Structure 1
């Protein structure tokens, strides 16, 4: 053993006290006292959003007395169209949540009556709504357009005197809402007992505010859902301004419905609020041939940017109600970053980004061109989810019996009825019991929609077809993409040496591998929460193949793949981690002959505890993944911790791939969060180790021995950064932080053993037997280190003890609902690694952030707590405390503490990172944040301006001295074409192409701006990502 300073690798816990500092060993705490990090099962960005408004208009015309399938009056009220509609509406409302609901009916022959105004749902309000629905009696005509106009008038009650623009293009003079919509609905009706009832009406107060206003927030979505069994009868457009609003030349009363729907959507009805406050219209035709193929209802839905469906039974009516709501209630967003198809900005540059939609748990993957002149998102080239075709045409594989197999009933129908796939897919959450529908669930996951909305199967959303509403929209088959960043893989182009200095590896050169794979189909890989890792053709967005890890299988209630199909599904994470791709030189097929291949390492994040490896060298093989033994060639292995499963937590750590000093190739990752032991540690999993099953020689685990804190809160290691110190393309050192605020350096430099293994791995371990750094908020969520650090040489010191590196990282947690209300702030650190351990914040020169005219600045040492940096003594780097939060737990106003949850980036000598401040406040787009840019060597602004801080379209002397700009939809002198200037929310990890920075926002938008990092040679950079594919 050469290096006695290193902690030995152990497959069992090391003895307490070995490090010489206080630690808590997991075996000293009972399982009952351990606390997991309370990982959220739903996207945190969706929490705290404003409840949408949904006014339900139920047809109360005389024809609603009739039977469902005839013109005869029903024998009983319950069997009538209205009776069925009432039952469906009450069931529908009973299942709703997080929405404000009101009920209206026709006012005899004159417009609408408000029976119950909009209010949030709880048990009491549901009871009231049900009572109002019971009061609806069939009588009168079908004044659809009048009723729709009256309901629009209700939405602006109290603000009806505001001036609005009748045509958004400015072709008409300003009018009041009352001028356009008329006097409004009735608020009085006769109930089932014959008594007159008056509904409360929004009331304008003396101070100008309105009590009970329908539209309460500028970001609130507003919808009217109309259920009708007939064409308009006794109708009108309400006012002359609405008679031919759609410009089709038809001003007949019978054609007025689509004119009103268009006006409600086109006009901003609350000009006192920000943005456009309009109303969408949805329609359900019910139980009558008059509306089964109604072009008027279809046109009204199209102009109203809503949906149209026809229902002819109680079950189909309830399904139609749920379908309409699925397009209403969602929140879109993203927490992933972006990918590019090149490193330089030119005419063929493409940016890939993902979104999720919580209304139906669907995802979208966009490819957009970048304008090479402006460096802005230009136009959408394709969107992948709209192209997912028939399930029979898809190539989907999974893992069974230690090998890849097609994800088909034939391949999975093994002799054992208790296989993991059948056990999972054969469980019904609705019944909370096993059943015989495992094949139906498998087909559902593959994309078969024949069971959608029937039995216990969830109804998936569909894409609207506004141009022709009579054509059913294609189903939304791609699951939500929340945290997984798309990864572009083209021709092999990594900076590996042509061959490594090893006799057994001289037969195949990397250059030959590159030439052989020139012109291979470019691909984009991304994980989704439909249980799959998807591979799409990067040129056209067509799905090439998908992989379902068996790691996601679970036959427990509301877990596993079966849950995704169930009508009571409320979101699970499945394949939510960003995949890692690299070219490697290993024996892929067990013939004892090493060869170059391209491998993908994927994980699950919150979806489970494990990783998988795929051979993606040949996309043409992926395109025929279900054919013959192709699945066996593609799937390399799945790793669930093997005999170290107690050490492996949820796979939040993004794996990195590298060649090690013992000659083997490995996937390297932190052990993640909520392991059984709760101890942080580093996994090293040999890529060729799991090809024939797992033994203890196939992987290593370096334990930090730092486990749960005094309160029982578990620890876990986050994503690592791999470092090559001597330029031989072999990893020597690994840095990673944990949830308790420790930054660790793992020394993997020993190389004396035989190249194929031996005892060499037992000499790797933790440099200095202690953390490199421990933060001041150790044990607090604000001190957690969730992202991989950035590492560069400390060029400010000419000579210094090895390794003389600056390790840069931010702190703060974003894992659960409590994090949204934590006012403690994180920090950003640059810590000097030169052989010393136990560094604390007190050893670092402070950088105080102050607000300047156009952005954040570093405070003057003469007037703030900023300290001049002295590398000789006493400073071990620099630190920057972020802004404390002002979140109010009662009013939900304000923002939680500022933090860093994504990895920093270095461009020449400029350090870039994003901060976030979550918020539960209405219209806050889940929070705000800053885009930071500063000189990594000093922690202060560089000599020259980096970005357009004053937003004048230029980067010049007026932008000098700033280190942070608030993330908005309009930066860099113009508004991003993607965000349109709207609030993009919290910034994710920026991507860079040429001199353009593109940053995804939590709202789902991508904002691009210009940067200028100068042309001086880059100093110090030696991160493994210099020659990684991402």
Structure 2
């Protein structure tokens, strides 16, 4: 972004107005050997999740809760309906006037019964689609075993069964023996009063003779065309009732519906297993194991299908509820140390790797209260929460010892809570390094088991919110004796969840159950990452200063743009707004595209016939606009998206703030460039490049494999320079071979006429590659404002080529081909104004072969623009072993403004080497280098021998951060040198792929970020440093630049007596640093933001590099 020259700044030549944006932080390109997902997420230690199903006999029941379950069923059941032994066929009577008929069939009392306010969807299948609707005339008793028969819900039924009458919850008797005739599609509305009075209810029969049904919460339904008026037709109502009967009628059916829906919404980035509390001992991956039915596996392919099949078909016997034994059995499973166990990358097979950071969770679902056998492991029977735990040592020497305090401790042993604590406070794998990620509720960095409790229609006496809040505030929780009452037994499940640092919920109906379980899974598997830079709306801190950060969530492939306030003390932890919460309603969104050669609003009616064919149906267009009704989770056929977020993942497109119209622009992999109001986060408009239309349908595919769309960088002109217009230029980045231009002057009224041009590989240009670099907007010597952009990588010709387009029209003014090919491509350019007349004269850019090119564009006509030095590179970057070093980072240029010393008044070129966009890059350990080269305008630089070598001198820790110092300069040691270089050889694989930025402080300061990728999923993304050196010597600064310990002083920020010049902010791999006030703000691959105070005396503060991401 462009920053106008100011007093105290000395641009290369005062008067050149160049508009540029920081380069993409992490580069990713789709090609045969390059992954189509961000490198920082290409590996991960998927969490283990053991789902324990309560298969006790009460799960067969059709009454909930137990208070009214004297009659187990509301319909006569067939024998063996759940594949095992049966309970007595006790059925609530159907007799009119008998209160138990109403109690049993009123959703307000029996929460398992049909509730007309709920839309009952069929079960989810492994691929996320839904099973078929149940036929009202033959609704199966068990959807997985239709041979057991079905019930005709549209006619009178006559059957023999044991009818039960009850006049209170303690007074029941058998009704008349023999048969009863009843209308099966019936429910009772409870009107208030004594629930055991027949007069407290209104009976509603769902019959063909009744055309419509109103009220009773039907306005919440999603299956009724007139739900807005709380009205459903007979066919809609009877279909909903049939789905309830087949898929939700009993406790186990409801549990399967909720569990299936929650797990079907998950991707492959988790490893579930399956268990049931009454399952006996069998061999599980080579070890005799009770309770566990399926060991953990990656959630894909046959393993995914097998898991769903077990969930839906596991027999439910008339047996007890040995929860303590079951939880202990799973804890023992997670304690395995053999090569086929749950910690391995190949569970069930030898030869895998036991990841030290893998997390293990158990979700225990039950409809009632434990009984039967306790834990078989002696240690698990003890009062584990009432006694201190062992001291466990973790990363960086940290230790943790469980202290027996509230809300964890009690005075009893052999409880469910004791079992959970036993497998939480102990290191289950003492042979593995303790590198398990911690979070706000779970401080355990050792291998342990986290327990989640799920109650179906049951509740205890202790409030779950209070219990979990007590983890933080220490409030005393008086846990009751579990043996004292049924409610106390459920409190023990809550207590186990608190001890296991998981979560707990008790759902009252199927909808709540499914949602709560989905939230639990989302909490477990969510992986956030950020790979784009940050932008800011001000270069100095004021009351309304904000930074804008883009994020993505892998697996679900959703995105987020956040605005956060920044002050002198740092960046706010809570966003001011999030873009996902401010997307307008689908019909209100202003989305444009190019279709059939014409720019149109993105609606089905406006698209050309060929584009309609490519998209398939209007449902795809509606989906992309934000309609959710056709997603699998809502009964449709399209890919599910996360709740409350339709924004696609934002990976490499860095947000750009434009002060002229107070708008933030960013590209997303939902196929759109988005414009957001910088004050509110509301989307102002979006644009879909026409070249992407043919690929949009893939975004709706339930089997969607991540791909890039609008993933490139953006540049926006200052309207005071470009005829009163803010021209926006963006590349597709890894999303395609193309670049486009818009007139973004008035985002609030953006129209089809504001789409100016698009240049793609459809132009039959074999030099056009995936433009991962940063476009630059600048004034050329022919008097035009133009776009300067590198061709990028993986072009058909595989050469390094520079493009120059007319800014307003997109006309190709000049293409400069270096002729150097063979898996090559040009990277982000940098520009220089040599004569100070406000136009670009020189362009520099690197390529994958390590060549640094100098392009001479000083001629008045494009035909005179050439490659300098006779078409030879100005410099070739090579390591100490003479291996070429790829240049993917943008080039920065700056004149040495110092009046004295070596190289005074000469132009410097700054860049780093390294690559991070190919699948082999994370494991590449070639030594990469930071360069500062002098261009004396006449000669090339032959190699390192003409440069002064600097080095990383010391490494250590200070103020809790990893820090480094650089070597010092000595008097006149730059004499005769054409620049400097620093090899980043102390950390294997360290590289620079973002721009270097120069600032004026007590000395000229050059800042860049370096990244150290990790190929270990236990170190997500990697690490890296923010580095600062003297720009014109490459040596360490003579003063402390970073306030590492945050004490608002700089004199103590030293390592071994030398100023610290390099600091790891603990945010993963850092993106390009952004100066706001005196703080450097940096995004990181972990998804967080880091900031650090820097030493800028007031008389010197000011950015003097041309390459900035502030718009003012």
- Aligned match of 1:398: 593
Distance 2:468 2:724 in 1: 68
Equivalent position of 1:139 in the other structure: 317
Tell me what 2:807 maps to. 687
1:291-370 equivalences in 2 (<5 Å): 291-292=509-510, 307-308=515-516, 325=521, 328-370=524-566
User: Partner residue of 1:726?
Assistant: 835
Does residue 480 of structure 1 match 2:620?
no
Match of 1:844 in 2: 947
Corresponding residue for residue 30 of structure 1:
none
- The answer for the alignment partner of 2:1010 in structure 1 is 915
Residue by residue over 1:435-467, the C-alpha shift from the partner in whole angstroms, topping out at 9 and shown as x without a partner, is xxx2101110110000111454111111xxxxx
Written as runs of structure 1 = structure 2, the 5 A alignment for 1:487-526 is: 487-491=656-660, 521-526=661-666
**Cα distance between partner residues in 1 of 2:658 and 2:426:** 60
The C-alpha deviation readout for 1:856-879, integer Å capped at 9, x for no partner, is 223468xxxxx9874443x22111
Matched residue SS, 1:184: helix
The question of whether the paired residues in 2 share the 8 Å contact of 1:113 and 1:185 is answered with no
- 1:803–1:746: structure 2 CA closer, same or farther, 3 Å change rule? farther
Match of 1:570 in 2: 705
Matched, 1:827 2:929: yes
> 2:412 & 2:584 partners in 1: Cα distance?
45
Match of 2:613 in 1: 423
Would the alpha carbon gap of residues 292 and 1022 (structure 1) be closer, same or farther in structure 2, given more than 3 Å must change? Answer: closer
Paired residue for 2:239? none
Gaps of 5+ in 1: 1-34, 188-200, 270-277, 299-306, 310-319, 427-437, 463-474, 492-520, 555-559, 587-593, 623-629, 709-713, 754-759, 862-866, 886-895, 970-983
1:195 match = none
Question: Given the alignment, which residue of 242, 264, 276 partners 1:105?
Answer: 276
Query: Following TM superposition, by how much is the alpha carbon of 1:732 offset from its aligned partner in structure 2, in angstroms?
Result: 1.3
Structure-2 change in CA distance of 1:699 and 1:122 (3 Å): same
Q: Distance in 2 between matches of 1:939 and 1:243?
A: 52
Label 1:940 to 1:565 Cα distance change in 2 as closer, same or farther (>3 A). Answer: same
| SS of equivalent residue, structure 2 residue 920 | helix
Identify unmatched segments of 5+ residues in structure 2: 1-29, 64-72, 84-143, 146-245, 281-289, 336-376, 390-399, 439-443
Q: Is the 8 A contact 1:823 1:884 kept in 2?
A: no
Other-structure match for 2:627:
448
Q: Is the 8 A contact 2:768 2:791 kept in 1?
A: yes
Q: 1:184 aligns with which of 419, 423, 441?
A: 419
1:460 has 2:641 as partner: yes
The yes-or-no answer on 1:1029 pairing with 2:1105 is no
Q: Determine the structure 1 residue equivalent to 2:791.
A: 671
Q: Normalized against structure 1, the TM-score is what? A: 0.70
Aligned to 2:189: none
What is the deviation of 1:651? Answer: 1.8
For residues 351-371 of structure 1, give each alpha carbon's deviation from its aligned partner in whole angstroms, at most 9, with x where no partner exists: 111111113111111111112
Name the CA shift for 1:671/1:704 in 2 (closer, same or farther; >3 Å). same
Question: Distance in 2 between the 1:781 and 1:566 partners?
Answer: 44
Judge conservation of contact 1:770–1:838 (CA < 8 Å) in 2: no
Query: Mapping of 1:567-606 within 5 angstroms?
Result: 567-583=702-718, 595-606=723-734
Deviation at 1:291, TM superposition (A): 2.5
CA contact (8 A) 1:242 1:263 kept: no
Residue 46 of structure 1 and its aligned partner are, at CA, apart by 1.2
For residue 575 of structure 2, what is the aligned residue in structure 1? 380
1:808 to partner: Cα distance: 0.7
- What's the offset of the Cα at 1:764? 3.4
Structure 2 residue matching 1:479: 3-state secondary structure: coil
What residue is the counterpart of 2:675 in the other structure?
A: 535
Whether the 8 Å CA contact 2:407–2:477 is kept in 1: the answer is no
For 2:745 and 2:652, the matched residues in 1 are separated by: 25
* 1:704 aligns to 2:930 (yes or no): no
Secondary structure in 2 matching 1:646: coil
Deviation at 1:1023, TM superposition (A): 4.7
Aligned-residue offset at 1:44: 1.3
Task: Return the offset for 1:163.
Answer: 3.3
Question: What is the CA-CA distance between 1:917 and the residue it aligns to?
Answer: 0.7
CA distance in 2, matches of 1:675, 1:879: 31
Distance 1:100 1:654, change over 3 A: same
State whether residues 666 and 687 of structure 1, in contact with CA within 8 Å, keep that contact through their aligned partners in structure 2: yes
Question: Against the structure 1 CA distance between its residues 237 and 163, is the aligned structure 2 distance closer, same or farther, given a 3 Å change threshold?
Answer: farther
Q: 1:597 to 1:293 in 2, by over 3 A?
A: closer
Superposition map of 1:16-415 within 5 A: 38-62=33-57, 64-65=59-60, 71-73=75-77, 76=81, 77=83, 78-79=144-145, 97-107=268-278, 113-116=291-294, 118=296, 136-140=314-318, 163=388, 181-182=416-417, 184=419, 209=431, 218=445, 230-232=456-458, 278-280=501-503, 291-292=509-510, 307-308=515-516, 325=521, 328-372=524-568, 374-377=569-572, 379-412=574-607, 414=608
Alpha-carbon deviation of 1:949?
3.9
Structure-2 separation of matches of 1:439 and 1:449: 13
Give the TM-score normalised by structure 2: 0.65
1:602-1001 correspondence runs (5 A):
602-622=730-750, 630-631=751-752, 633-640=753-760, 643=763, 645-690=765-810, 698-708=812-822, 714-751=823-860, 753=861, 760-776=862-878, 783-795=885-897, 804-834=906-936, 835-853=938-956, 854=958, 855-859=963-967, 870-873=973-976, 875-883=977-985, 897-908=989-1000, 909-949=1004-1044, 952-956=1047-1051, 958-959=1053-1054, 961-969=1058-1066, 984-1001=1067-1084
Say if 1:182 and 1:782 are closer, same or farther in 2 by CA, change over 3 A: farther
Report the CA distance shift for 1:844/1:99 in structure 2 as closer, same or farther (over 3 A).
same
Structure 1's 846 and 336: CA in aligned 2 closer, same or farther, altered over 3 A? same
CA deviation vs aligned residue, 1:374-404 (integer Å, no higher than 9, x gap): 2333542111102223201111111124442
Task: Give 1:257 deviation, angstroms.
Answer: 8.9
8 Å contact kept, 2:55–2:315:
yes
Give the greater-gyration-radius structure (CA): 2
Q: Secondary structure at the match of 2:873?
A: coil
Q: 1:95 to 1:836 in 2, by over 3 A?
A: same
On the 8 A contact 1:163/1:175 being kept in 2, the answer is: no
Q: How many residues align?
A: 817
- CA-based RMSD of the aligned residues comes to 4.8
Distance 2:314 2:425 in 1: 25
Whether contact under 8 Å (2:425, 2:448) holds in the other structure is: no
CA contact (8 A) 2:279 2:292 kept: no
Deviation at 1:932, TM superposition (A): 0.4
CA deviations over 1:289-336 (Å, ceiling 9, x no partner): x63366xx59xxxxxxxx426xxxxxxxxxx7xx87555433211111
The 3 A distance-change label for structure 1 pair 233 and 961 is closer
For residue 423 of structure 1, give the secondary structure of its aligned residue in structure 2: helix
SS in 1 for 2:725: strand
Q: How many Å separate the matches in 1 of 2:838 and 2:412?
A: 69
Higher relative contact order (CA 8 A, sep 6+): 2
Q: Is the 8 A contact 1:55 1:118 kept in 2?
A: yes
- Once the two structures are TM-superposed, the CA of residue 763 in structure 1 deviates from its matched residue by 3.6
- Whole-angstrom distance in 1 between the partners of 2:982 and 2:918: 25
Q: In the alignment, is residue 1003 of structure 1 matched against residue 1111 of structure 2?
A: no
- Cα distance in 1 for partners of 2:470, 2:570 equals 42
Structure 1 pair 219–648 and aligned structure 2 pair: CA distance change class (3 A): farther
Cα distance in 2, alignment partners of residues 925 and 904 from structure 1: 25
User: Does the Cα contact within 8 Å between 2:55 and 2:276 map onto a contact in 1?
Assistant: yes
TM-superposed deviation, 1:958: 4.5
The 1:1018/1:393 distance shift into structure 2, 3 A limit, reads closer
1:242-275 deviation per Cα after TM superposition (whole angstroms, max 9, x unaligned)? 99999999979666698667656665x5xxxxxx
Does the Cα contact within 8 Å between 2:467 and 2:477 map onto a contact in 1?
no
Kindly provide the CA deviation profile for residues 67-121 of structure 1, in whole angstroms up to 9, marking residues without a partner as x: 9996443565433866898799899699963433222223499xx9444554656
